[in-house]
Chains A and B, each alone.
Chain A
Amino acid sequence: MNIIVCIKRVPETTDADISIDKSGKDIDKSSLVFDLNEWDSYAIEEAILLKEKLGGTVTVISMGGEESNESLRKCLAMGADDAIRLTDPAFNGSDGFATARVLAEAVRKIPYDLILTGTQAEDDGYGQVGVVLAELLGIPHAAVVNRIEVQDKRLKVHRELEGGLEEVVEIDLPALLTIQTGINEPRYVSIMGIRKVAKKEIKSFGAPELNLKADEVGLSGSDIRLEKVFLPPVGEAAEILEGKPEEIALKVSEILRDKGGLS
């Protein structure tokens, strides 16, 4: 089974104190740590698990600048065989659709049975690229997948629905699946592991190699445009309990008594 995994390098913002940058169109990323998109870490792990079981190759592709090598190397260290970076100034500002178009041209050059992407990215959260990619390639897809069973020339996959419900579908190969978090336990990558793949070649393609015209990609190839970003309006903000830990604890016990019926 030859598998392609599309990944993205994103800033870690969960625990970060973030602020809006001068352009007003993004956050200030200068002090942020970047890592492989969380959903993608499950997608690459799933690809490697399938390879370990069935043989074949795993090729990892990312659209982004040279800094994306960091995430591509992490995937190589996890067990991917090849890495491809799609870099061109013309790709800047691509929305979900334009990103899928770039990825589609790169994927067409490689033989594959299965394509995996994360269900969405932590940063822009489109949840769109994988499914559009499948449409552009003319292959079947299933989104929000949290279990895969391989059955000869087809897959049985579980899609995560709401409220704990799952939907089981059968899908013919070649196919594209967007992977949900929790499907596996992504393996730990040591610094030694990264070092081992430090010299491995990462191929790089730009718009000309992919036969893409400048107006098909980037901002001019996009359907939507971000105008400005702003902090979400604060709702009925919480009453912040202040004081020494002891005083806060007393307050919590009073709330539990009054509102929770704790005796």
Chain B
Amino acid sequence: MKEIVVIAEHRRGELRDITWEMLCKGRQLAESAGANLNAILLGKGVNHLAEALKPKVNKVFLIEDERLESYNSETYERALVRLITERKPWLTLIGHTATGMDFAPSLAARLKMPLATDCIGIEIEGETCSVIRQLYGGKINASVSFVKQGPYMATLRPGAFPVLEKDPLPGEIVPLPSPLAAETLARRFLQYVEAAVAEVDITQADILVAVGRGIKDAENIPLVKEFADSIGGVLACSRPVVDKKWLPKGCQVGTSGKTVRPKVYIAIGISGAFQHVAGMKGAGTVIAINKDPKAPIFNVAHYGIVADLFKIVPVIKDKIKGLRKS
């Protein structure tokens, strides 16, 4: 019988959302292929996580070792190379996260296993797999096939696969001895560092006005800030604005920034890359202003304005100012 395994991702004592997303997709794939769905959990003192995974899989392979307490690509790879070589799962699923991006490519290369990264779709077709990936920052989708026969490895994009409730599986926790020996590592985990606390907490705002790459220059930021102020909103931004140091990291909405759920979210000059959308799709009402009618942001927005932000934003600001005065 075929085996599909999900490498469970967890951090600081909690399973991450991507793990449930992979398990849900993995379940559907396992059912369509008549395969077993198993999970691999590496860590230390993570029995409670193994218990949580149990009803979602046939087996949880659990390796506990103090050298696995914090994620490290080297210890992860050593443990996984051993386990995957022994079990030979037909398909291994890993999250396309900061963690998965760090170990999946080298693990696949070491195992000489074909890898498709950042998949937003994956289906089993007979003895092979086909996936859907995005190109050019999400402007184009591509269907991609594996050239050789399995086993295969794929990393799945966070937020791309829904989590649906399913009947529990008769999960079993299978503790395995750690294959790690007392050897020196070339890479060592030191600590986590939290982001600096922002002056304004963008997660608490009812109205957020977020600005993106379309603002073109730091000197144009006040235009949007004044607009935000005029409607009692808080200024936020997408990643490129922080990369260019035009606004501080605390203003950033998206995967590597904050997740926000305001009543109204106004996206100005933001194209709508998935990393950004992941942080704002819970907003009540989304208004997007972008000059490109094909910008992906219009797929998530409730209202769209196809216009040059430098022309339309001042007009909206003045109109609302006028209305609020009267």
Contacts and interface: CB of A to CB of B under 8 A. Distances in A.
Contacts of B302: 238-239
A261 B259 contact: no
Interface residues of A, number: 87
B319 A223 contact: no
Given A142-B102, A253-B320, A136 B109 contact: yes
A249 B320 contact: yes
A175 to B, nearest CB: 7
B285 A167 contact: no
Interface string A211-243: 000000000001111111111101111111100
Contact of B101 (A131, A140, A249): A131
Interface string B291-322: 01110101111111111000110011011100
A247 B193 CA distance: 48
A99 B290 CA distance: 36
Contacts of B245: 182, 185
Contacts of A159: 98, 102
A260 B206 contact: yes
A160 B256 contact: yes
Contact of B109 (A18, A135, A161, A249): A135
A20 B104 CA distance: 31
Contacts of B303: 238-241, 251-252, 255
The residue in A168, A228, A240, A252 that gathers the most chain B C-beta atoms within 10 A of its C-beta is A252
Interface in B49-76: 71-74
Contacts of A231: 140-141
Interface in B153-205: 158, 186-195
A111 interface: no
Contacts of B307: 245, 248
Interface in B213-263: 213, 231-233, 239-240, 242-245, 249-250, 252, 255-259, 262-263
B230 to A, nearest CB: 10
Interface stretch (A65-73, A122-130, A187-195): A122-130
Interface string A148-162: 000000001011111
A18 B136 contact: yes
A119 interface: yes
A96 B115 CA distance: 9
Interface of B: 11, 16, 71-74, 96-99, 101-106, 108-110, 114-118, 130-131, 133-148, 158, 186-195, 206-207, 213, 231-233, 239-240, 242-245, 249-250, 252, 255-259, 262-264, 271, 284-288, 292-294, 296, 298-307, 311-312, 315-316, 318-320, 323-324
Given A164-B250, A224-B147, A259-B264, 11 more contacts: A132-B105, A136-B109, A140-B74, A167-B98, A172-B187, A232-B299, A238-B303, A245-B316, A248-B307, A255-B285, A262-B231
Interface of A: 11, 13-15, 17-18, 20, 27, 96-97, 100, 119, 122-132, 134-136, 139-144, 156, 158-172, 175, 178, 181-182, 185, 222-232, 234-241, 245-246, 248-253, 255-256, 259-263
